[in-house]
Structure 1
C-alpha cells in the first residue's frame, strides 16, 4: 500500500508510520512545524488549513489510504477545517480515509458511550472535533471515524502530565474518567481499519476506565516514583469546565479487529 499519514510528527502519527514501514508499505508523512525524521518515511511539509495545498499533495501522492491524525486543541481551523480539507482531497484521490476523532466531543455521563452516540461537546476542542466529524461524514460517507481516548506512550503529553503532578507541578482530577489506550495498540487498529470497509464512527479505546489520579498512581508504580507528592483535586472544586466521566465502549472494535485493545493496567505493566 501507499499510505499518507497526515500529522506524522505527532505521537500517534509517528507510530502509524513506523508500523506501516515495518509492514512494507510506502509511507509519506506530513508535518507542519516539526520535521518528520523517521526511517523509510518520505516527509512532506503541509498546512492542513490550506485546502488547495492539501488537494495538490494528494493529487501528487495518489495514496491508497489516508490516515488523518493531525489536530491542534487550541486551533479550530486545524482541527475542524483541516479535517474537511483532508477528506475532500482523499475523495478526489480515490483514497480510503481513516479520520481520528476523540472522546472530547462527549459531555460526560455515568453510562459508557456507544459508537454512534451523537456528540455533546462542552468546550471548544470538543466542538471542533464534532465539527470535523460532521464535515468528514458529509464529504466521505465511506470514511472510518475513530473515536479514541487518552493516548499513552513515551513522549505522550498524558504521561508527562502524570509525572508533573507527581512532582507537584500539575493537578490530576479524580472526577475525570477516561479509557486510556496504548499508542501501539491504537496505531495497529487504525492501520487495520484502513484495510476494511467500515464506515462511520467506531470507538477504539483501552479496556480499562480509570480516573486521572488512578492513572497517575499507575505511572508512579511503573516509573518507580514516590506517589506521596501527587497533587490531586476535582474539576468541580477547581471550576474547570471539561468532560468528566467519558468511557468509550469499544465492543464493536473488539469484534471487528484482530488488534487487541489492552487495558491501561496491562500495558503500563508490560
Structure 2
C-alpha cells in the first residue's frame, strides 16, 4: 500500500509512519515546520491551507490511502478548510481517505457518545473539527472519519511532559478533576488507523481508550509510572475556570472495537 500521512511528523503521524513501514508499506509524509527524521519516509513540506498545493502533492504522489492527522487548534483554516482541501484532492486522485477527528466535537452534555451521536461543539476547536467532518463526508462519502480522544504513550505526549514538569516543580499549574476523557495509547490508535486504512470501512468510527479518567487521575497514573510523587500534582476544577471546552466526554467505541483486531486498552492498563 502506498500511504501518504498528512501531518506525518507529529506525535501520531510519526508513530503511524513507523508502524506502516514495519508492515511493509511505502510511506510518504507531509510536514508544516519540522521535517522529522524517520528513515524510509519520503517527506514533503505542505500547508493544508493551500488548496492548490494539496491537490498538486496528492496528484503527484497518487497514494492508495491518505491519512489526515493535520490540525492546528487555534486555526480554523488549517483544521476545517485544510481537511476539505485534503478530501477534495483525494477525491480527485481516486484514493481512499482516513480523516482523524476528535471528541472535541461534543459538548459533554450527554457524557457518553456513540458513533451516530450528533456533534454539538462548545469550543472553537471543536467547531472546526465538526466542520471538517461535515466537509470530509460530503466530499468523500467513502472516507473513514476516526474520532479519538487524548493521545498519550510512553512518555512522549504533551500531557505526559506537562505532568512530569508539574511533579518536578519545573512548571506551575493544576490538573482538572472534572475534565474526563478516554485516553488512547498512540500505538493502539496508529494500529487501528492502519487497519481501517486497509479495510472497506467507511463513515464515523470511534477509536479511544477503554477507561474514562480525569486529567488529574491520568496525571497520577503517569507520575506513578515514572517514579514521581503524585502528591505533588495540584488539582482543580475546570468548571471553576473560563477555559473553553467540554467537561466529561466519553467515546463509546463498542461498534468499532468489534471490527478491529487491535485491542483498545485503557489508561489504567497501559500506564500501570
Question: Normalization by structure 2: what TM-score?
Answer: 0.96
User: Aligned pair in 2 of structure 1 residues 39, 187: CA closer, same or farther (>3 Å)?
Assistant: same
Q: What corresponds to 1:213 in structure 2?
A: 216
How many residue pairs end up in the alignment?
269
Q: What corresponds to 1:26 in structure 2?
A: 26
Match of 2:207 among 190, 204, 215: 204
SS of 1:162's equivalent in the other structure is helix
SS of 1:44's equivalent in the other structure is strand
Counterparts of 1:240 and 1:44 in 2: how far apart (Å)?
35
- CA apart distance, 1:71: 0.6
Say yes or no: does 1:266 pair with 2:269.
Answer: yes
Cα deviation, 1:155-185, whole Å, max 9, x if unaligned, reads 2112122223333522111010000000000
- CA apart distance, 1:209: 0.4
Say yes or no: does 1:75 pair with 2:47.
Answer: no
Is the contact between residue 68 and residue 99 of structure 1 (CA under 8 Å) also seen in structure 2? yes
Q: What corresponds to 2:186 in structure 1?
A: 183
SS of 2:101's equivalent in the other structure is strand
Counterparts of 1:52 and 1:120 in 2: how far apart (Å)?
31
5+ residue gaps, structure 2, are: none
Within 5 Å, give how 1:85-96 maps onto structure 2: 85-96=85-96
Cα deviation, 1:11-31, whole Å, max 9, x if unaligned, reads 000001000100111100100
Q: What corresponds to 1:160 in structure 2?
A: 161
- CA apart distance, 1:266: 1.0
Within 5 Å, give how 1:31-46 maps onto structure 2: 31-46=31-46
Cα deviation, 1:115-147, whole Å, max 9, x if unaligned, reads 111111111100000010010011001100000
Q: What corresponds to 1:193 in structure 2?
A: 196
Within 5 Å, give how 1:1-270 maps onto structure 2: 1-109=1-109, 111-153=111-153, 154-166=155-167, 167=169, 169-269=172-272
5+ residue gaps, structure 1, are: none
Is the contact between residue 30 and residue 36 of structure 1 (CA under 8 Å) also seen in structure 2? no
Counterparts of 2:144 and 2:166 in 1: how far apart (Å)?
35
User: Aligned pair in 2 of structure 1 residues 164, 70: CA closer, same or farther (>3 Å)?
Assistant: same
SS of 2:147's equivalent in the other structure is strand
Is the contact between residue 67 and residue 99 of structure 1 (CA under 8 Å) also seen in structure 2? yes
The CA RMSD over aligned residues, in Å, is: 1.1
Question: Normalization by structure 1: what TM-score?
Answer: 0.97
- CA apart distance, 1:36: 2.3
SS of 1:256's equivalent in the other structure is coil
- CA apart distance, 1:237: 1.6
Is the contact between residue 107 and residue 122 of structure 1 (CA under 8 Å) also seen in structure 2? yes
